[in-house]
Structure 1
Amino acid sequence: MSRDDAPKKDDWPDKGDRRPVLVTGGAGFIGCNIANRLCELGHDVVIYDALSRPGVETNLAWLKERHPDQITSIVADIRDEDALARAAREAKAVFHMAAQVAVTTSMVDPREDFEINIRGTLNLLDALRTFNPTAPVIFASTNKVYGDLGDIDFRLEGERYVPLDAEVAQHGIGEARPLDFHTPYGCSKGAADQYVLDYARSFGLPAAVIRMSCIYGVRQMGTEDQGWVAHFLIQALEGKPITLYGDGYQVRDILNVENAVEAYLAAWKKIGLIKGRAFNLGGGPANAVSLRELLAHMAALLGREIDVEFSDWRAGDQRYFVADTRAIRSELGLREASSWKEGVAHLAEWLREARGLSEAPIFATRPPAAAESTPA
């Protein structure tokens, strides 16, 4: 999706409302990209973030440098009920991105995972219910709410798993798929997902849920536990080995953050139409790629082999997840997602510059100009 297709300032129904938009977790990868786009559209933004994830302070600094008169930051935890309530009561809309984001971390400390993802979300919802019940809230959920999809049969075709079910193979996993929470992370995000939907049903909050597949792009501080596309590129650029958990044939539909941001903003714009509903968001079948295929593309970009190691499958890992995006694209008027090959090439170049690495990737395709962003 090009910027020419994105919402313009005059498109917004809240024109003239100078209250800020609240982005919890706004210094994180997706949150800071949402905040940046909101500022470009003329909105003021409050970033509410504990800055607990390494590297995200650079995203906040980047936002403040780009939009010094529009960005306000609150360094606080979403478990701080009073601080969160003060921020929520003044917002004209809320993008709830703050979370404990790693399955592995949830296995080590499930109680903290619960406190952040469930209690933190309930703090926000109750603040809005009590003080600001007309403010739209869009919640960042996850494909992990569908569990490990262990009942789906696959065949190995080339370098990837392919579902035997023709409907799933053609379109991906739809919203009608039963919820099946696996791991403490799946439970906490899934419970928060359901709380958001029920607050829309029980209390009339204009709220919606977006269940994301794998999002990648500029300003992603990827680690082995979360943000794995960027992590793979960082390891490859630095000449370090990459560990694949499982066999590497598992498939994900990776989506450029530019496309994800447009979906979130469109959800706000059309909240009256979609409130109380959940949507799957990913790159769709056209952007489905196995880990092995992705690493082969990265090796081609770099012009050299990548050192790969293997380890056991991790808890709750899905052998296949591709989002059926027909519902969200139809309801929100979204265009086709951008090509994963071009997006990964652009992310490789951004990471090279942002991390001060001298070796330039050899691009198989030229990155799209619309996705360019100034590195930290």
Structure 2
Amino acid sequence: MMEQRDNRPVLITGGCGFIGCNLADRLAVRGERVLVLDNLARAGVRENAQWLKSRHGDLITITVADIREPIPVIDAVRDARAVLHLAAQVAVTDSVSDPAADFEINARGTLNVLEAVRLHNNTAPVMFASTNKVYGRLIEDSEIALAGRRYTPTGALLVDGISENAPLDFYSPYGCSKGTADQYVHDYARVFGLRTVVMRMSCIYGPRQFGTEDQGWVAHFLLSAIRGKPLTIYGDGYQVRDALHVSDAVAAWLAALDRIGLACGRVFNLGGGPANAVSLRELIDQISELTGREISYCFADWRPGDQPWYVTDTRALSTALGWTPQIPLAEGLHSLHAWLSGRFGTEHDSREALA
């Protein structure tokens, strides 16, 4: 006998944000109902909300609420078949300027979500958007060397990237708040038996990303090129990240959700891996070639918690769920450039849409 489909909605907190709206879109394309809980406070999220509703109509329900308020969180969780928790304060700089607000959103807000699930819907899977910032600076200056236009580790142990076995070392208030939430989510699986999954993500980019200097740096670099505006590079530009296209990130999230029996209780690092690693200077070169425009930039001091090198080891996720990145960086940049050019290429005042 065919198992009856669970028609309850998937709850996505922060579902009008960049990754959240891409997840909501993919779920709705599959014919699933989605309940989005978002306070609509960040730039671009109202536009993403309109985009979701225009594409999917009644499959998408948007509730305007804040995860710092327990009652609307409980109401949203109560009837959900799964909870994808992405609502967050996402900028290191904002965490430094207001650590208390950063804590209330990222740590306390996540605890509100966990408690709502534990007390009112304890069979619902909970997936959490964590960050590579929980590992802190990770690598000392003596452990990296300059090779061409990027840093590389001097030891052979990191050839495949940073694995989930790397020690946690929270750095910056943002790292502390997200690290606290990360550990709560993981511990609620061990202590209370919730079916939780932690995704420690690195540099997700792609369409629907309104990049800023503080968050979404790939989109920010591309958008600056389109607008002909100079960039500020914090550090020396040789720092390396691995970039993952949002469609690949969504595929990883849904693979874990669809096979929650294999994924629950696990922590996964999620990124583009060594094949999609790039330094800031290298990315500027690629963007200049893609757009046909020279990009002017200047340098400023390193920011708190900045990692000189971070590349994700994706083998745990691949082994558990059969997931691997499908979109190489060059192809992904083309897709993001096409979206940004269509969205911002004409100078009808784009600032209004972001307000």
TM-score, normalized by the shorter chain, greater than 0.5: yes
For residue 296 of structure 1, give the secondary structure of its aligned residue in structure 2.
helix
The 2-side partners of 1:45 and 1:279 are apart by: 24
What is residue 153 of structure 2 aligned with on the other side?
163
**Residues 1:16 and 2:5 are matched in the alignment:** yes
The 2-side partners of 1:211 and 1:15 are apart by: 32
Any unmatched runs of 5+ in structure 2?
348-355
The 1-side partners of 2:302 and 2:262 are apart by: 40
Counterparts in 2 of 1:206 and 1:241: CA distance versus 1, 3 Å: same
What is residue 49 of structure 2 aligned with on the other side?
60
Contact 1:20-1:91 within 8 A present in 2 as well: yes
What is residue 10 of structure 1 aligned with on the other side?
none
**Residues 1:354 and 2:337 are matched in the alignment:** no
Counterparts in 2 of 1:262 and 1:15: CA distance versus 1, 3 Å: farther
The 2-side partners of 1:63 and 1:274 are apart by: 28
The 1-side partners of 2:251 and 2:4 are apart by: 18
Contact 2:226-2:345 within 8 A present in 1 as well: no
Off by >4 Å, runs of 4+ in structure 1: none
Contact 2:102-2:173 within 8 A present in 1 as well: yes
The 1-side partners of 2:339 and 2:115 are apart by: 39
Choose the corresponding residue for 1:246, options 220, 235, 238.
Answer: 235
TM-score (norm 2): 0.95
Q: Over residues 126-161 of structure 1, what are the superposed CA-to-partner deviations in whole Å (9 max), with x where a residue is unaligned?
A: 000001000001100000000011337011000000
Choose the corresponding residue for 2:37, options 36, 45, 48.
Answer: 48
Contact 2:248-2:327 within 8 A present in 1 as well: yes
The 1-side partners of 2:7 and 2:312 are apart by: 36
Contact 1:255-1:337 within 8 A present in 2 as well: no
1:229 CA drift (Å): 0.5
1:15 CA drift (Å): 5.0
Query: AA paired with 1:26?
Result: G
Q: Describe how 1:1-376 pairs up with structure 2 within 5 A.
A: 16-151=5-140, 153-168=143-158, 170-357=159-346
For residue 310 of structure 1, give the secondary structure of its aligned residue in structure 2.
strand
1:347 CA drift (Å): 0.6
RMSD over aligned Cα atoms: 1.2
Contact 1:283-1:337 within 8 A present in 2 as well: no
For residue 305 of structure 1, give the secondary structure of its aligned residue in structure 2.
coil
* Greater displacement, 174-183 / 266-275: 266-275
For residue 268 of structure 2, give the secondary structure of its aligned residue in structure 1.
strand
What is residue 353 of structure 2 aligned with on the other side?
none
For residue 289 of structure 1, give the secondary structure of its aligned residue in structure 2.
strand
Q: Over residues 326-363 of structure 1, what are the superposed CA-to-partner deviations in whole Å (9 max), with x where a residue is unaligned?
A: 001111111343110110121111101011438xxxxx
For residue 315 of structure 1, give the secondary structure of its aligned residue in structure 2.
coil
Contact 1:141-1:212 within 8 A present in 2 as well: yes
The 1-side partners of 2:217 and 2:152 are apart by: 21
The 2-side partners of 1:42 and 1:53 are apart by: 28
Any unmatched runs of 5+ in structure 1?
1-12, 359-376
The 1-side partners of 2:44 and 2:111 are apart by: 27
For residue 280 of structure 1, give the secondary structure of its aligned residue in structure 2.
strand
1:270 CA drift (Å): 1.6
The 1-side partners of 2:309 and 2:335 are apart by: 25
TM-score (norm 1): 0.90
For residue 112 of structure 2, give the secondary structure of its aligned residue in structure 1.
helix
Q: % of aligned pairs identical?
A: 59
Aligned residues: 345
The 1-side partners of 2:259 and 2:296 are apart by: 46
What is residue 4 of structure 1 aligned with on the other side?
none
Query: AA paired with 2:247?
Result: E
The 2-side partners of 1:264 and 1:285 are apart by: 20
Contact 2:244-2:325 within 8 A present in 1 as well: no
The 1-side partners of 2:88 and 2:105 are apart by: 6
1:54 CA drift (Å): 1.3
Q: Over residues 253-276 of structure 1, what are the superposed CA-to-partner deviations in whole Å (9 max), with x where a residue is unaligned?
A: 000000000000011112111211
For residue 39 of structure 1, give the secondary structure of its aligned residue in structure 2.
helix
1:167 CA drift (Å): 2.3
